[in-house]
Structure 1
Amino acid sequence: MPQLPDSGFTRVASFYDALARLVYGSALEQAQGALLPFLPRQARVLVIGGGSGWLLEQLLVTGKQLEILYLDAAPAMLERAQKRYRAFGQAHACRVSFRLGTEQALQPQEQFDVIFTPFLLDLFPPLRLRRLMSRLSAALAYQGLWLFADFWPVRQPPPWWQRQLARSMYLFFGLISGIKAKQFPSYGRHFSALGFQEKYSRAFFRGMVQAKVLQRPMPSVPECA
């Protein structure tokens, strides 16, 4: 069977969470958690690249009425998320569906109030990233929220230790998971090209990680003469 695109994280599913905590402590989880208060009380939410399901559990305990599509390209990650969901023992007001695939698995008519990209966008080289973000933008309702948590160094150029850590990370995941990117993307340029405006930002892990809320405003309506 041919390998699904972007499915290389299946190879690291059994130890990815432990490795992330070993290197970054709780910073990656803190960055994602900082975005949860921005979720509307009721919303259609796309989580793409959510991995083994930690974020899904956090969405369930918000007490909000969310219709969640959990989309992941790595079969082993999706299986782990489904297992965590089945084992979740608390009452919640969310409806959850799981889907295997990339952004290409989204249906043309599907629209979301919130798109959550947790440590996903750093994995792709510029051309692939532009296509990915363009497709996600098309699936986001106007005035919808893009919740972004990822490696985005505040200081530019980044300090030496952040550059070295990034090189090591890209080398490791390039060899193990087939990641094509070699450096952190120019996220700001991509978001600006799509018309998004930043509404919130907070830095973690000494400025190497950022959590951001971005929104594309409604197009202006010309006034009648």
Structure 2
Amino acid sequence: MKNNYDSIAGYYDVLSRMVFFRAQVKAQIDQLHAIPANSTVLIAGGGTGWILEEIAKIHPSGLTITYIEISSKMLDLSKKREVKSNAVTFIHSAMEDFKTNFSYDVLITAFFFDNFSADHVEIVFNQLNKLLKKDGIWLFADFYYTRQSGKRWQWLLLQTMYLFFSKISSVEAKSLVNTEHLFREKDYLSLKEAFYYSGFIKTIIYQKMT
């Protein structure tokens, strides 16, 4: 199965911290203040679920969270997290296979789109866009590299990551796809941008305007 991290679920977080220290963690935590109280939240590709505990520190109750993860082992780890009084529904599914008539106040996609090829990215983006309410908040975090401004070590690290994960987790992407034009085309407003790990990680808090 493509983009499935079952084989490294047990040590994925350790591996991430060995390479990026706490940069990926801090990048995501810094965005969580944008989640409104008593909101509905969809987390796509949540991994081991540590983000649920961080969310619960800010909102110990009142949130209705849909947690979608393609890896069954990642999902098992997520179910053990302390979510306090928030209501969390765990769904074992690829995001592109998830179907619902429900809509959400908040979407969270952290290091998610880097798994997909260019054609697939747009399909998944459009699906998520339809699930977000007008004026809803989209918390986006991912690796960032451009040929114009990127550094060689960033390019080399990306190539190493994609080679590793293509073998271990059948990640379909071969290179990092820029998604910012998709948000512009759908009239999203960028409320806040931040960079981490010497500019290799970028976060954006978007608001859906139409």
The TM-score bracket by the shorter chain reads: over 0.9
TM-score between the two structures when normalised by the length of structure 2:
0.94
Answering whether residue 158 of structure 2 is matched by residue 166 of structure 1, we say yes
1:170–1:179 Cα contact (<8 Å) kept: yes
Are the structure 2 counterparts of residues 95 and 216 from structure 1 closer, same or farther at C-alpha, using a change threshold of 3 Å?
same
Partner of 2:58: 62
Report the Cα distance in structure 1 between the residues aligned to 2:123 and 2:187, rounded to whole angstroms: 15
Answering whether residue 43 of structure 2 is matched by residue 51 of structure 1, we say no
Count of residues in correspondence between the two structures: 209
What is the deviation of 1:155? 7.7
Which runs of 5 or more residues in structure 1 are unaligned? 219-225
2:114–2:177 Cα contact (<8 Å) kept: yes
Give runs of ≥4 in structure 1 deviating > 6 Å: none
What is the deviation of 1:171? 0.5
Answering whether residue 10 of structure 2 is matched by residue 25 of structure 1, we say no
Answering whether residue 207 of structure 2 is matched by residue 215 of structure 1, we say yes
Report the Cα distance in structure 2 between the residues aligned to 1:194 and 1:173, rounded to whole angstroms: 31
- Once the two structures are overlaid, the 10-residue window that deviates more, 131-140 or 10-19, is 10-19
Partner of 1:222: none
Cα-Cα RMSD: 1.6
Which runs of 5 or more residues in structure 2 are unaligned? none
Partner of 1:36: 32
Partner of 2:174: 182
Are the structure 2 counterparts of residues 28 and 154 from structure 1 closer, same or farther at C-alpha, using a change threshold of 3 Å?
farther
What is the deviation of 1:196? 1.7
Report the Cα distance in structure 2 between the residues aligned to 1:155 and 1:212, rounded to whole angstroms: 20
Q: SS of the residue aligned with 1:133?
A: helix
Report the Cα distance in structure 1 between the residues aligned to 2:30 and 2:147, rounded to whole angstroms: 21
Report the Cα distance in structure 1 between the residues aligned to 2:145 and 2:137, rounded to whole angstroms: 22
TM-score between the two structures when normalised by the length of structure 1:
0.88
Q: SS of the residue aligned with 1:41?
A: coil
What is the deviation of 1:105? 4.2
The residue type equivalent to 1:33 in the other structure is I
- Once the two structures are overlaid, the 10-residue window that deviates more, 204-213 or 192-201, is 192-201
Report the Cα distance in structure 2 between the residues aligned to 1:52 and 1:41, rounded to whole angstroms: 24
Partner of 1:198: 190
1:146–1:214 Cα contact (<8 Å) kept: yes
1:155–1:207 Cα contact (<8 Å) kept: no
